[in-house]
Every structure is written in C-alpha cells, then in structure tokens.
Structure 1
Amino acid sequence: MADRAVHVPEADRPQDIRNIALVGPPGAGKTSLVEALLVAAGEIGRPGSVEEGTTASDHDGVEVRQKRSVHLTLNPVTVDGVKVNLLDTPGYADFIGAMRAGLRGADAALFVVSALDGVDGRTRVLWEECAAIGMPRAVAVTRIDHPRADYDDVVARCRESFGPGVRPAYLPAYEGSGDDRRVVGLWGLVSERYHDCQGSPAGSGTGGGTAPSPAPRPVPDRVREAAGPLREALVEEVITGSGDEVLMDRYVEGGELDPDLLVADLQKAVAAGGLHPVIAVSTTTGVGVRELLHELPLSCPDPTRRPFPSVATPEGRPVPGLSCDPGGPLVAEVLSTAADPYVGRVSLVRVFSGTLTPDSAVHLHGHGVPCGLTGTVELDRVGNDERAGALAVPLGRGSRPVGRAVAGDLCLVARLPDARTGDTLSDPGRPLRVSPWRFPQPLLPVSLAAASSADEDKLSQAVARLVAEDPSLRVEVNPETRQMVLWSLGEAHLDAALDRLEHRHGVRVETGGVRVPLRETFAVPAQGLGRNVKQSGGHGEFGVCRIRVEPLAPGSGLEFVDETVGGVVPRQFVPSVEKGVRAQMADGVESGYPLVDIRVTLYDGKAHPVDSSDAAFQKAGRLALRDAAAAGGLAVLEPVSDVAVEVDDSYLGPVLSDLSARRGRVVGTGTASGGRAVVRAEVPELEITRYAVELRSVSHGTGVFTREYLRHEPLPPQAAARLSRAGRG
C-alpha cells in the first residue's frame, strides 16, 4: 500500500473508543461488511479487494489458504472523532475459540444476518452466549437489495429468535417488483431522517475522513404511513431502556420528542441490554453502509460503560476497584497470537486499564487449561518479565505504528515471544491476572506422526507453538496407546492447524485414527503355573510359581497376596513374582491391552539353591499370569464417557436416537438457557471419536457437547467381534 496521506486511528481516552465484534454465520457477509465500512471511512481505497476468508487487516503475514475466515482480525476506523475497533470473528463453528476471543475484546456485538438466509440455529446459540455474558447487541441485515430479500420478514424472524428487544432502527424503502425491485431510500426511525439512495454510489473515502452520507430529505408520506407503528414501538423501547424519566414524562404527555435526545438515549438502552436495533445494509451498492458507520458510535457503549473483568494477584487474591482508566495500573490481555515472518510473534492485545507503550516492561501471566481426554490440567504459568515491542494498528493490508494504547483500546504488540492467547500483561512491579474467558473444549481427536526424520526433530516444538497460538487446540501423548493426539474443534479447525504446521512451522505430519485405550481383565477365576527352568550347562535359571487369579471390582488395580508356606518360594523372591505379574499386566496377555483389576494369590512354587534369582522368578510370574489367562476367559474393557449434549429442543429426538445407536445409555434430560434441551448419557468412547462432527450434522449445527471419562466396563461380544474384524482388516 503506498504511503499516501493516511490517518492512523488513535484515541486519547476510553470515551472515544468503541469495540465491536461482528458475529454471524459464514456467508452472512461479515468480512464484506467490514471492507465496505473501511471503504466508506476512507481506510482502504477500493472495494472488492478482500475475499471471504481474509480481511484487509490480515496481520498473519502468511497467505490464507482456506476460503474461510479462521482468524480474529482487528479493523480500526475513525468515525466522527471516535475510534471504532471492528473485530471480524470467524463464522464457522470450528473457530468458536476465535469468536469468543473477539467477544472478550469487544464491548458490543453486531450480529450480521443475511436477508436471504435469515437466522440459523447456530446464530441463535451465539446470541444466547452473548446474552449470558451481558454483551450489548445490534443486528445488521445484509443483502437487502436482492430481489428475493424480505426485510420485514427477516426482522420478524430475528425477533422470534432473539427476543422482543429486536427493533428496526432503519427501514428500507423499495420501488419496483421482481428483478427490478430496488432500494431507493432509508428512513432512520430515531433520527427521523430519510436518506434518498437513488443513484447513490457505494463511494470511497480518502484520507482519514468519513465519506458523506446522502443528504437527508423529508420522509415520503407513504413511508411514514407504513412504518409509523414501528417507530412508535422503537421510541418506547429507547425511552424505557434508557431510563430517561424526563423524556418518558414528555412522551406520556404527548409532547414533541427531540430526535437528538432520542439518539443520545439509544446508546443507554443498547448498553442496558434491552434494546437491539436493526439496520439494513447492502455491501454491493453501499446502501446503509454510511448510516451504519455513523450509527456504531451512537448506539454502542464505550469501554467505561462495560463491567471490568475479574482481576486477581498471581496468588489468587481478588483486586477490586479497577476501572477503565488510562492512569490506572496496567491490565491487558492477549486475545490472539500469530507468527509473522518479518517481526516474529505478533499479539492482538486488549488494554483494560492503564496505558501500554512501545518498549515498556510487562509481566506475563498464563492460565491453566485442561488437556485432551485425560482431563489433566496445566498449572498457571507465572511468566517472565518481558519488554513489549512496537505497537501498531492494522491499516489496509499493512499496519502503522502507534505511540500508545490507552485503557479500552486494542492494538498489535510485536516481540512478545512467550505470549500465549489468554495471557495477562501487567506491570512487573504489580503482577496481576485477568480471569480467563471460557475456552471451548476440543473434542475431535486425530493422531500425529512426523512424515520424516527431519520432521521428527521439529514436531514437538512446532506443536507447542501451535497450541500457544490457539488454546482451542490440545495435544497429548497418550501413555497407554503411545500416540501423539491433537484435539481440535472440528475438521475445518484441524485442517487449519495442519496447514499452519506445514506452511508456517515447516513440519509435515501424517494423521491417522486414534486408538481408544482398551483394557483387559479376568472374567472368571483361574489358576496358572509359571515354570522357568533352564539348565543347559553353567549358571541356569530356576523359578517355579503357582498362582490363583480372581477378578476384582473396577478401579481396584492389582491386589497381590502371598500364601506360600514352608519357604517353597524364598522370601526374597516373592516380590520378584509380583514384579513379573505387574510387568505382564502392563504389557497385556492376549490382545496387548493392559490387564487391570485382579487379585493374584501366590500359593506354591519351587526354588533352586544356585540357579534361582530375581530375574528367574520375575519371568516365572509373567509365565504364570499368561498360563492363567489361557485357562480362564478374559474380558475386554472399553472406556465409557459421561456425555452432556445441549441442543435445540426441535432436534432432541434425532439426538436421542443417535445416542441409542451409539450404545449410549441416557441417564437424564433437562433444560438450559433459551429453552434448549440437555441430555446426559453414558456412551462408549469407541462410538464418539468423531461425535464432534456427527452431532453437528444431526442437530443442524445447534448441538454442543462435553465429555468426561467415567470408567471402563466390559465390551459387548458383538462390539468385540467388530473390533476384531477391524483389526484383521
């Protein structure tokens, strides 16, 4: 991008900042809307330069290879003296982690809904998630100029899905019919300004100013007559939601209402969470884009109006009294990290308190996170003191340095090599940590293996960097199956991770299925003889033992009992027999699965005064256990998980049927927020290795689930036969 006279968006105080996350399904037009807003504000020179899947501020430094948005990106613009930070969040469900990071950095959410596609189940889930954290919300309806678009219908569906607080703030006026139908104007119901859009180009701004809107004109009588009741309802919502008693009294008395006062109260009503204004836009013709651009600072709250996140010392003591104050102690958080080929690690940071400056000393503090199927937790990382690199804001396809980032602002920070997504930045003299946002639990596993010996040397380090950038990924080395397992949120998330491994970190891997950690146990009591006698000249081996094996309750492990009398097995060799039994249990005796939950009783044996040894009796113990297994029947045990599925009530039946087909046992049902159904079931892990993908299909994207290891229990004969056939295949 040429160095023309460009205004770098900056802000000196929190009241002049708006942080807005764009949320919505793929295909709704979030990225196109961001680009149109940047063009209207004069931040980029022309439309059509950004494909779905990238943004004008893609600071990754690498070409995005998937045609889908997988990153959280920052796009700042200046509107009427206010810096508006637009956070473009991914729409695909696999990248819910980046979407939640965007909500953490934002003070309001703009839901982008296509006038053709309406509201899907996934968007309703995201709306409820925003409602749960008290996020103010507005709605932008795109593609209103399409011949099949029905603005009134999509607004009605938004009200049905999101609640009665959804009210149109702008109404499009149409002329013509069929393919000749077009938008000719927009009426702002609060401001009472009618914008004539006939012949209005999409336009492009220059420099740092905002492109002018079409000149307001008198509202046509036909438009006012048709939309009068809608304006009346919106005005009531604004006055009620803002709590403006003076305006309420004037409204009740039937007096004239000053539109400027209504506009001022609009932000209060949106911040309170009861009103969700809707604006109509078209990114192809530019209709409504300038109006939306000017509406964002007026409708969305500044950072001082939002609750401050919970902050504590590294020892866990709460720190009350913090606020969005540029003069306060430094409290900032890393929303995302990425590797730039020129400057190294680049972190997208939200400053909650204090002021961040280039080259300032900061303290990093990380949070413990659950890891994979094992459920183990990485302890808090008390990071090192580091020096922040240059600060910048994205501008077009590049970035521009800034001198500081005050409380409430967002920026890019270079050269924080140890920073991970979710880390807290604070003053080294006063280390603090922000309570983390809720990271999604990765539930789709795949095994990883280096493609070559050269990749083997780099794999561990590359995977560690991958997880540091994206906490929605988990990596574990399963001690039972000895596989390196990468856990992701879905196939698209996995593809993006593998792409980064190869093209950013230079490591090629081979993926495969994940072996479920099966186990064995004795189904019935049995006896075994271990005879280890080798006397072929010289020093030999001699160890003989007889054992009884009995099954125990799940989780009992090994209970070893010595019932020998008369020294048939000398005292010093009894522990040797137990060592041999334990070693054979770990290796398995029939299928190679670990043997668990048995009582082994040593009741007889023989020894030789010269040839008996610790090693001889260890081997005898192994042989005895194998002999007992051959004599008595073994049962294969499979892991069973406690699965909780949350889904739209309309998909409860298909989910229950699907769980039953997976040998699941439903143990309870209930309800969650928004009237969604919750199903608790015990399901074998053999049946849910790909449930993250399959549930999405069954529930049309509305279902989410969690899983937690419960216990191992016997594998049914039919399932064992299928497993055996699969192994032979």
Structure 2
Amino acid sequence: MVLVGPAGSGKTTLTETLLAASGAIPRAGSVRDGTTVTDFEESEHAHGRSISLAVAALLHQDTKINLIDTPGYADFVGELRAGLRAADCALFVVAANEGVDDGTRSLWRECAAVGMPRAVVITKLDQARADYDGVLRQAQESFGDAAGGKVVPLYVPVRSGTDVTGLTGLLRPTPEAEETGLRGELIEAVIEESEDETLMDRYVGGEEIAEDVLVADLERAVARATFHPVVPACSVTGVGCTELLDLVVRGFPSPAEHPSPEVFQPNGAAADPISCDKGGPLVAEVVKTTSDPYVGRLSLVRVFSGTLTSDQSVHVSGHFSSFFGADAGHEDHDEDEKVGALSYPFGKQLAPADQVVAGDLCAIGRLSRAETGDTLSSVDDPRVLKPWSMPEPLLPIAIVAQTKSDEDKLSQALGRLAAEDPSLRIENNAETHQLVLWTMGESHAEVTLERLGERYGVRVDQEPFVVSLRETFGGSAKGLGRHVKQSGGHGQYAVCHIEVEPLPEGSGFEFVDKVVGGAVPRNFIPSVEKGVRTQMERGCRLGHPMVDLRVTLTDGKAHSVDSSDMAFQMAGALALREAAAATTVTMLEPFDTVSVVVPDDMVGPVMSDLSARRARLLGTDKVGEDRTQVLAEVPQTELVRYAVDLRSSTHGAGVFTRSFAHYEPMPEDVARTIPPRT
C-alpha cells in the first residue's frame, strides 16, 4: 500500500502511527540511529521532508501490509511513480487544515493515470484550522464523478467539544450511524457499484443488506478505482488508524486482484501474461536503487510472479530505450547475476528473508548491474516488464568538477546516481562542451548535488547553462586568406580567395571548387575546405558553429617549396573570418514546440508569460473538465528556468513538455546580450 499526498499532509507521521497501532514499533515518532523509521537515507532527516520512497511493513489481522511512503513534492514525482508501481492500492492523504489545491489534484491524476485503487484519508483533525467537513466537500468536488469515481465517507468523526475522540462506521446499522444521515448515501453508492442488479430493489424495498455483502461490493468497486471511501484520521491521538488498517485488509484488493504490468521477451516479442502466483515464472522489478560508496547498491524489488530465493541466478533486463526511445537516458542491457542475501526493508533497517513470494517487496544487496526499472526473471525464461513512464526532466544544471581528483570520480558517481534515479538525465553536450544534469526542479537538483558530495566525495561547481546556438551569414561576402610566414628555413605560404553565400535553413554546408589554371594545386584544395570547416565549427561571431553556407574557392596562390596542407588550412580559416567581417553574421537560436497544461483559470497569465518569452502561440485545446493545453513555439534560451517559473506561477498546477522544432534568426537586440563562448 502506498501513501500519496501533498507535502505537509502528514503521510510520514501517519505511516509511523499505523506502524505503532499494529505494534510494529513501540510508538509513533520512534527514532533509530537518529532518523525516523521511514527515513530511507540520511538526507531525508537532514531536509526534514520525504524526498524518496521508503518502505516499512506491519501485520494486521494476520495480513502483511507493506507501507510505502512517497514524497509529495513535484520535484520527486519519479519516486511517487515508482511507489505506485510497487503497490496495489493507495491511501490518498489530505490535511484537514490545508484542503485540496491544484498540486493535490495533480497527485490524484497521477494515481488515476495508472488506475490505482485508493481511499481518501483526511488527517490533522486536531489542528487549529482543521475543517473536516469543508475538506470532505472539496475532495468530493475534486475527486468525484468528474474525475472518475465516487468519494463517499466510510466513517465520520465523533467529537467531544472540539476534540475528535473516535469514529462512527457507516456500514453497520447502528443508531449513531443512522443519526449522521450519511449511512443511506454510502449504502446506495456501494449498491450502485454492485454487480447484483437485484440489490438496489431489495434495499429500496426495506431489506437490510448484510454488512459482508456490502463490504464485498465495496472491495470490488475500490479495486476498479471507481469508488473511493473516505476515512478521517488523527496521527497524534491514533484515531482512525485501526479503521484504516481494517479497510486495507477487508476493502482493498489483494495483490492477486491487481493487474500485472505488460510483459515481453527481451527481443521485444510479447510474452504470456503473468499473475500474482508464487508458483508461476519469476518476474520481479527493481522499483528503487540506492548506492553507498561502502556498502554498494541496494535494490528495492517488487515480485510480481513466482518466488525469489537467496543465491538464485536471475536474468537482469533493462530496456528503457526500447520502450521510450534513445533519449530515455538508460542504455538497454541484458546479463545474468546471482542474487545475494534477501531482506525485508523497514526504512533503513533490513530483516533477513529466505525467500520472497509474488505480491511482496524485498531488498537485494549488491546487484551490480541492476538499475531502477530493470526486470529480474529466470535465466532460462527471461522476461521484460514494460517500465513505468518517467517524467521528463526539464531543468538543466551545468556542472564542472572543482579539482582533477573530483573529475576522476565524477563519471562513476553520476553513473550510479542515474542508475538510482531514472528522472535524472545526464548529458555531455558535444557542442557546448558542458556536462549537464537535467533535473525535475531546484529541489531535485539540490539533492542530486548533495548526494554527489556526501556519498561519493565529488565536489562540483555550477556554471551558466549554454544553449546550443548557431551562426550563419546574413548576406554574401568575399574573403581573402593569406598565410605567409618566412622566418628562416622552411616557410609557410598559402593564399586563397573565397566567396560565401547563405543557404536556406537546413541545407548544411557546400564547398565549390572554381579554381582555374592550377592557382591552387589540386592536392591543397581539400586543405582549404578543411580549414573552412574548422573555422565554421569555431564560429565567427560568438564562438558557435556556423551552418547553411556555400563556400566557393575562386583563386589563390601557392609556393613550390613553402606551401603545405597546414598552410592552406590556415588560409581557408582566415578567408572565412575575413568574409564574415565583411557582412552581417546572424545568430540562429533553437525553438522548441511546447505544450503547457494548466487549469482553465490560469490560461491567460500563462499565455501572457509565453508571449513575454518571445513565444509564437499556436492555439489552445481543452484537456478534461477543467484544464487547457496551450501550444506554442518558444526559443530555448527562454526555457532554461521555465520548469521553475511555471511551477511557481501556477502553484504547482502547471506542467509542460517540449520537443525540438527548428532554428530561426535571433533578434539582434537579444543577440547583443549573448556573451561570446570562451
């Protein structure tokens, strides 16, 4: 079971309270080694917030329940999606003193996108500004029929003055339940979801429907993700915790009822579907990876089919690129490895396990090649699960190692971080010569740099991110390249005349030889072209590559002794620079096609902001009931921090994607603000 909700809603505290209620820990807030039991890594405690998913287990009514605590910050939505993949059901946590905002609705859509069965938990009932009834209405309006389901209270709080002292269950026919006036609404909502078409007539006719029948129909409706029961809870007093655990055991689908991911063979062919059967073929998935420079890798694994045992040989398949394209950032790989010791995770603590069956989670140490999203299967019958979709990292951070020692360790450290975190993309830009970390936002970038320093001892500095610009000629021009040096002994002599003209976008480079009479010997004409190409790569204005040119070699001079390949290369480069000085060199900037999805009431400000970024607006389309997609072409130079700015201006409600469109001339007033490349 995964706990989902916005930051500050109380997920981690609720997790510990549930553990305490079941006897898994002595009391909520227990501390082990200086961190709470749900802290998975040291930075959790240092930041005072959840930044990665963490797992702990409890036993309730002879049923093992794995609790997966996930971050509520948008920067760590990759961890949330991993938690959703590892779980069969969710508790969606909303604070009674905060309510439902756009960021909360975004998290609900994440759950809905994967069809996750879920209940709504309204926490922090003891807070001064708590408004249970108001937040319940917000949840019903935001998550109800328009969003794909019914949101109906299963329990209601019992108050003594302003304090919540307990809960009243609405399924049982008690006087307290009848007094609320909500019992009938709950039963009717459950019956509407029933497959028994006679049930509603029997209920309307006055028959008391047995609680077991209602619970069975509720469980089926929850499993279909069309019915979302609401339970109030207070982590401080423990009110609602037993009822939540009862709901998980009786009202949530078991792993056997939850659909399994699509399964393929390593060659891409479809494989037979799997089910949650401990006797079936082994198919498991790495849902999280952590690395420690001393301990090594620790893989958190969900077993979907079969049984995983210690010292078992498994096939490890990673096929991100096959499913999501080369830009996925993780190379495909297939190899066999031997599983070492198995453990059940409990935050940072590990309990040994001999075997792990389908439907359960475990931790495996020292799987040297396994990355987050990889599939573990039988060596004799390898399978590949289609990985869950990862969010696109859109905030670039350019870094440089502080020292030679840091530089030597940087590549390996980044490789380990990328294996842990598929939402981190690492780019070595061949044009700008920058090492770029593509991150989800400022917090994600901050945590990534902290991990580099604290785990691997690699110190880096940030530098301004450079967009890959281009240069081209604004008009035709002629250039003379004269490279003549006589300093005693063998000299250097080369002269060439060229004409340069711009070509249409995307035409590339053309070199034309119009030399007559052998003014430039045939063996030196390729040298002139090489010199021109070299200068084009260096640029003639701000140091960016030149494109879309036709260069015609018209004349030149050579010396029988002093001319050489290198001399004519130098002359060709000088000729292009002189031609550039005789005309206007236009800067070309890349444009991306951008899709921004925001709530309807934010469309105007978003479009105004895009216009201020020199965007070309292409139109709008409705997305669902209350959101709009804005399409535009935007210069990449205006998108460097757009991931941060959009999130801030829309309070976390706006999301965007981008894809390269084309290059086009940059306005001269903007070009003058661009510093030369060094």
Assess same fold via TM > 0.5.
yes
Question: 1:341: how far off?
Answer: 6.2
Change in Cα spacing, 1:390 to 1:673, as seen in structure 2 (3 Å) is farther
- The change in CA–CA distance for 1:380 and 1:312 in structure 2 (over 3 A counts) is farther
667-676 or 714-723, which moves further after superposition? 667-676
The whole-number CA distance in structure 1 between the counterparts of 2:125 and 2:644 is 33
Judged with a 3 Å threshold, the aligned counterparts in structure 2 of structure 1 residues 375 and 356 are, in CA distance, closer, same or farther, namely closer
Distance in 2, matches of 1:571 and 1:93, equals: 62
Q: Give percent identity, aligned residues only.
A: 54
Q: Secondary structure of 2:304's partner?
A: strand
Q: What's 1:269 paired with?
A: 221
Name the amino acid aligned to 2:631: R
2:553 corresponds, among 590, 602, 608, to: 602
Q: Kindly indicate whether the alpha-carbon contact (under 8 Å) linking 1:654 and 1:699 is maintained by their aligned counterparts in 2.
A: no
Equivalents in 1 of 2:383, 2:605: separation in Å? 47
**Of 89, 94, 98, which aligns to 2:70?**
89
**Residues 18-70 of structure 1: CA deviation (Å, up to 9, x unaligned):** xx11111011000000000000000011222369x965143447774212101
Query: Using the alignment, how far apart are the partners of 1:727 and 1:621 within structure 2?
Result: 22
CA distance in 2, matches of 1:526, 1:55: 70
Note if 1:174 corresponds to 2:171: no
Of 611, 634, 647, the residue aligned with 1:660 is 611
C-alpha distance 309-398 of structure 1, shift in aligned 2 (>3 A): same
Q: In structure 1, which of residues 119, 127, 141 is the aligned counterpart of residue 100 of structure 2?
A: 119
| Unpaired stretches in structure 2, ≥5 consecutive residues | none
Q: What do residues 514-537 of structure 1 show as CA deviations (whole Å, max 9, x unaligned)?
A: 111122110011010111222344
> What does residue 665 of structure 2 align with?
714
Q: Is the 8 A contact 1:61 1:340 kept in 2?
A: no
Whether the 8 Å CA contact 2:12–2:38 is kept in 1: the answer is no
- CA-CA distance at 1:409 after TM superposition: 1.1
Alignment of 1:674-693 (within 5 A): 674-693=625-644
1:349-498 correspondence runs (5 A)? 349-369=301-321, 376=327, 378=329, 380-395=331-346, 398-498=349-449
Contact 1:61/1:341, CA 8 A, preserved across alignment: no
**282-291 or 666-675: which moved more?**
666-675
TM-aligned CA deviation for residue 342 of structure 1:
6.2
| Alpha-carbon spacing, 1:285–1:676, altered in 2? closer, same or farther (3 Å) | same
- Report how many residues are paired: 673
* Larger CA deviation: 708-717 vs 145-154: 145-154
Q: Check conservation: 1:365, 1:380, Cα contact below 8 A.
A: no
User: Equivalent residue of 1:242, what SS?
Assistant: coil
Structure 1 residues 55-91: Cα deviation after superposition (integer angstroms, max 9, x where no partner): 5143447774212101111121111011111111101
Find the counterpart in structure 2 of residue 259 from structure 1: 211
1:33 aligns with 2:18: no
Code of the aligned partner of 1:80: Q
In the TM superposition, 1:215-226 aligns within 5 A as 219-220=175-176, 224-225=178-179
CA–CA distance in 1 between the matches of 2:645 and 2:624? 23
The residue aligned with 2:28 is 47
**Aligned pairs (5 A) from 1:229-248:** 230-245=182-197, 247-248=199-200
| Residue identity matched to 1:134 | G
Deviations for 1:219-245, whole angstroms, at most 9, x for unmatched residues? 44xx633x22x2112112212223234
Aligned counterparts of 1:272 and 1:248: Cα–Cα separation in 2 = 20
Offset at 1:130?
A: 1.7
Cα distance between partner residues in 1 of 2:129 and 2:309: 51
Select the residue among 452, 458, 463 that pairs with 1:507. Answer: 458
Equivalent pair of 2:40/2:347 in contact (CA under 8 Å): no
Contact 1:43 1:396 in 2 (8 A): no
Classify 1:501/1:361 alpha carbon distance in 2 versus 1 (closer, same or farther; 3 Å).
same
Aligned AA for 1:155? L
In the aligned structure 1, how far is the partner of 2:245 from the partner of 2:26? Answer: 16
Shift of 1:698: 1.1
C-alpha RMSD of the superposition: 2.2
User: What amino acid sits opposite 1:81 in the alignment?
Assistant: D
- Tell me the amino acid that sits aligned with residue 539 of structure 1: H
Q: Are 2:3 and 2:70, in contact at CA under 8 Å, matched by a contact in 1?
A: yes
Distance in structure 2 (CA, Å) of the matches to 1:396 and 1:437: 23
The equivalent residue for 2:516 is 565
1:104 matches 2:85: yes
Secondary structure at 2:673's aligned position in 1?
A: helix
Q: Deviations over 1:166-206 (max 9, x none)?
A: 00110112232xxxx112331111234xxxxxxxxxxxxxx
2: distance between equivalents of 1:333 and 1:185? 40
* Change in 2 beyond 3 A, CA 1:63/1:107: closer
- What does residue 322 of structure 1 align with? 274
3-state SS of paired residue (1:460): helix
Q: 1:384 to 1:727 in 2, by over 3 A?
A: closer
- 1:154 and 2:106 correspond: no
Given the alignment, which residue of 283, 289, 296 partners 1:344? 296
Alpha-carbon spacing, 1:608–1:615, altered in 2? closer, same or farther (3 Å): same
| CA 1:54–1:383: 2 relative to 1, 3 Å | farther
- Say if 2:202 is the partner of 1:250: yes
- Change in CA separation of 1:604 and 1:371 when aligned onto 2, cut-off 3 Å: farther
Distance verdict in 2 for CA 1:620–1:712, change over 3 Å: same
Q: 1:16 maps to what in 2?
A: none
- Per the alignment, residue 237 of structure 2 pairs with 285
- Partner AA of 2:96 in structure 1: A
SS of equivalent residue, structure 1 residue 495: helix
In structure 2, what is the equivalent of residue 518 of structure 1?
Answer: 469
Q: SS of the residue aligned with 1:504?
A: helix
CA contact (8 A) 1:242 1:272 kept: no
Amino acid aligned to 1:367:
H
Q: 1:311-355: per-residue Cα shift (whole Å, max 9, x none)?
A: 111100001232111111111000001124664211111111111
Output one character per residue of 1:294-325: Cα deviation in whole Å (capped at 9) or x when no partner: 11111211112122211111100001232111
Compared with structure 1, are the counterparts of its residues 377 and 105 closer, same or farther at alpha carbon in structure 2 (3 Å cutoff)?
closer
1:135 is aligned to: 116
Alpha-carbon distance in structure 2 between the residues aligned to 1:619 and 1:576: 9
Aligned counterparts of 2:622 and 2:31: Cα–Cα separation in 1: 42
In the other structure, the counterpart of 2:484 is 533
Letter in 2 for 1:93: A
Alignment of 1:205-224 (within 5 A): 219-220=175-176, 224=178
Secondary structure of the equivalent of 1:612? coil
Per mean C-alpha deviation after superposition, the further-off stretch among 389-398 and 560-569 is: 389-398
Distance in 2 (CA, whole Å) between partners of 1:586 and 1:547 is 18
CA contact (8 A) 2:102 2:652 kept: yes
1:335 to 280, 287, 296: 287
Distance in 1 (alpha carbons) for counterparts of 2:570 and 2:617 = 46
Farther off after superposition, 88-97 or 255-264: 255-264
Does the CA contact (< 8 Å) of 2:477 and 2:582 recur in 1?
yes
Q: Where do 1:693-708 residues align within 5 Å? A: 693-708=644-659
CA contact (8 A) 1:59 1:394 kept: no
TM superposition shift of 1:254: 2.0
Output the TM-score relative to the length of structure 2.
0.95
**Could you tell me how far 1:727 is from its partner in structure 2?**
8.7
Structure 1 383/645 Cα, relative in aligned 2: closer, same or farther at 3 Å?
A: same
SS of residue paired to 1:124: helix
Give the letter for the 2:7 counterpart: P
Query: How far does the alpha carbon of each residue in 1:590-636 deviate from its partner, in whole angstroms, 9 at most, with x for none?
Result: 22111111110111112222222211211111111011011111111
> 2:30 is aligned with what amino acid?
S
1:504-555 per-residue CA deviation (whole Å, 9 max, x = no partner) reads 1111111122111122110011010111222344322222111110111122
Q: Tell me which residue corresponds to 1:17.
A: none
Aligned equivalents of 1:696, 1:475: Cα separation in 2: 22
Question: By how many angstroms is 1:132 displaced?
Answer: 2.1
**In 1, Cα distance between the equivalents of 2:155 and 2:422?**
39
Decide whether the 8 Å contact of 1:541 with 1:613 is kept in 2: yes
* Contact 2:16-2:38 within 8 A present in 1 as well: no
